[in-house]
Chain A
Amino acid sequence: MSGHRDLTSGRPGDGDRRRATIDTVVHHTLVAGVATGLALLLVGLALTVAGRGGLAVASLKAPAALRAAVHLRAAGYYSLGLLALILTPFIRVLGSIVAFAAAREWRFVAVTSAVLLVMLVSIAVGAA
């Protein structure tokens, strides 16, 4: 009955505690990712209002976006913000691997690693 509450005693079992740990990791990852992405987009909008570049630009690759952000160009913050939002599930998958490993659930470490691998391939396809 791993993964369930101890139904005879009503007390949380090991499975419940492990699941709570995994859920906590996922929760914090999602909050951090969405907050970071939104903050970067709002900084970009503030820079546009301040005349530091408009919205009508193509998204920049990460290195160019970082350079633009260092020079306080709005385009850099827009691209980094969008990238942070898109990568939030990616980081979330990474967090799940760590959480499953901490819970010694090796089968799900392998399964989640396969998901991560497919996401890495999609990054490579996009960059090709």
Chain B
Amino acid sequence: MTFFVLVAVAVIVGLLGSMLGVGGGILLVPLLTLFLDVPVKNAIGTSLVCVVVTSSASQIVFVTRGFTNSRLGMTLEVATTLGALAGGITAILVSGRAIFGIFAAVLLYVLVTMERKPPERRPAEPGSALAGSFTDPGTGDEIAYGVGHLPGGLALSFVAGNVSGLLGVGGGVIKVPVMNLLMGVPLRAAIATSNLMIGVTAATGALIFFGRGLVEPRYAVPSALGILIGAQLGPRLSDKVSAALLRRVFEVLLAVLAVEMALKAFGV
């Protein structure tokens, strides 16, 4: 029975995540801990596996479209994997209540960034070794771009990796704005490159959790299968559902989960 409930929850998370372009971890960890009584560290281990699965599956499509900047992704991955390593070790050492508190803060951050829609930054001038290009599918134009502010990008990528390893989320909500707004990478390339990075970052954290016995098949197997089904169905259903309504439902869900997680942090 629990198996099918977990599959159903993961399908919904995969659906919402893929339709809204966010990782499933931000919803999966709270839902597993608050409503299915999964211990928080096991929920994080489960979520990291799901993040790896959804990232790998969507990269299969992204990478063939030529949007992903592998050179930039791998360069920033040095910082994100170090962050994930530190985050994973921290998650093993700190109390569950501390994790609930940090998670509530991250949920609020995501809620705020969803409400605030900053304008896309003009692409940086091409010229560096990390420069990339892709063909805009809408116009057919060749978009060539450069990459600026690498030190700042590396520092914030470390933070994104740290959040991922600590809380079991993808960290795309940090990586995409960093690449787009700070480094001047066009949004389409930033999303695809962030997706590439999310899988590598989450795998770094997941390897720690797996080794520590915190990736339990009874939670991870149904969740991984469910989220993959949801992530495949999401893009097919997205035309049939009002994007505004979906966004509003997601925001309400995030707000409720943030309050619930904060209450857990205070032992309520």
Q: Which residues of A line the B interface, CB within 8 A?
A: 1, 3-5, 7, 19, 22-23, 26-27, 30-31, 33-34, 37-38, 41, 44-45, 55-59, 61, 75, 78-79, 81-83, 85-90, 92-93, 96, 105, 107-108, 111-112, 114-115, 118-119, 121-123, 125-128
In the bound complex, what is the Cα–Cα distance between A30 and B66 (angstroms)? 15
User: With A27-B64, A56-B218 in contact, is A118–B211 under 8 Å at CB?
Assistant: no
Q: Is B225 an interface residue, CB under 8 A from the partner?
A: yes
Q: List 7 A-B contacts (CB under 8 A).
A: A3-B132, A7-B142, A59-B213, A85-B56, A108-B71, A111-B74, A118-B81
Interface size counted on chain B using CB atoms at 8 A: 57
User: With A30-B56, A38-B228, A115-B200 in contact, is A57–B70 under 8 Å at CB?
Assistant: no
Q: Flag if B224 contacts A89 (CB, 8 Å).
A: no
In the bound complex, what is the Cα–Cα distance between A119 and B77 (angstroms)? 11
> Which chain B residues in 182-227 approach chain A with CB under 8 Å?
199-200, 202-213, 215-218, 220-222, 224-225
In the bound complex, what is the Cα–Cα distance between A46 and B182 (angstroms)? 49
In-complex Cβ contact of A107 among B60, B129, B217 (8 A): B129
Q: Flag if A19 contacts B224 (CB, 8 Å).
A: no
Q: Assuming A115-B74, A126-B207, what are 5 further A-B pairs, CB within 8 angstroms?
A: A3-B132, A85-B53, A88-B199, A89-B55, A119-B200
Shortest CB-to-CB span from A128 to chain B, Å, is 8
In the bound complex, what is the Cα–Cα distance between A57 and B218 (angstroms)? 7
Q: Is B47 an interface residue, CB under 8 A from the partner?
A: no
In-complex Cβ contact of A82 among B63, B82, B129, B221 (8 A): B221
Q: Flag if B60 contacts A31 (CB, 8 Å).
A: yes
Q: Is B68 an interface residue, CB under 8 A from the partner?
A: yes
Q: Flag if B207 contacts A33 (CB, 8 Å).
A: no
In the bound complex, what is the Cα–Cα distance between A58 and B213 (angstroms)? 6
Nearest residue, chain A, Cβ from B85: A122
Shortest CB-to-CB span from B49 to chain A, Å, is 6
Q: Flag if B88 contacts A125 (CB, 8 Å).
A: yes
In-complex Cβ contact of A3 among B68, B131, B211, B215 (8 A): B131
In-complex Cβ contact of B71 among A3, A45, A57, A123 (8 A): A3
Q: Flag if B216 contacts A89 (CB, 8 Å).
A: no
Q: Is B59 an interface residue, CB under 8 A from the partner?
A: yes
In-complex Cβ contact of B142 among A5, A22, A55, A128 (8 A): A5
In the bound complex, what is the Cα–Cα distance between A53 and B11 (angstroms)? 25
